[in-house]
Amino acid sequence: AQKVTQAQTEISVVEKEDVTLDCVYETRDTTYYLFWYKQPPSGELVFLIRRNSFDEQNEISGRYSWNFQKSTSSFNFTITASQVVDSAVYFCALSERDAGNNRKLIWGLGTSLAVNP
């Protein structure tokens, strides 16, 4: 079973719509970290946000916002008033310690977002 699940493989919206990308994770670690990265069509991976497990405050950065809910093991990402430049693949990742106390980084498979004019 996936430890980081991005259930939406592809999403298509029209410009100015709000869109939420889901990320559900599974971990037994008490101190873990969650990340979101963006991969635009040009291919590079761009860091968006890092959140540790003790900080459940939601984060807003311009049109981007993140909702971290430990109770449901989710770290969802919302883009408000989407723009064509938001078209990209978005990855969620989890950093946790495994049974051997080794910290690992586990990636979701990504959600491809297409924002159409």
Partner 1 sequence: EAQVTQNPRYLITVTGKKLTVTCSQNMNHEYMSWYRQDPGLGLRQIYYSMNVEVTDKGDVPEGYKVSRKEKRNFPLILESPSPNQTSLYFCASSFSGYQETQYFGPGTRLLVL
- Summarize as ranges the residues that interact with partner 1 (CB under 8 A): 33, 35, 37, 43-47, 50, 52, 91, 95, 103-105, 107-110
Burial class (CB in 10 A: 0-12, 13-18, 19+), 68: buried
Q: Which is nearer to partner 1, 42 or 71 (CB)?
A: 42
Q: Which is nearer to partner 1, 16 or 104 (CB)?
A: 104
Our CA angle for 64, 5, 22, nearest 5°, is 30
Q: Which is nearer to partner 1, 43 or 62 (CB)?
A: 43
SS3 for 39-103, per residue? ECCCCCCEEEEEEECCCCCCEEECCEEEEEEHHHCEEEEEECCCCHHHCEEEEEEEEEECCCCCE
Shortest spacing between CB 108 and partner 1, in angstroms: 7
Amino acid sitting at position 32 = Y
Shortest spacing between CB 16 and partner 1, in angstroms: 30
Q: Which is nearer to partner 1, 12 or 52 (CB)?
A: 52
Shortest spacing between CB 91 and partner 1, in angstroms: 7
Shortest spacing between CB 44 and partner 1, in angstroms: 5
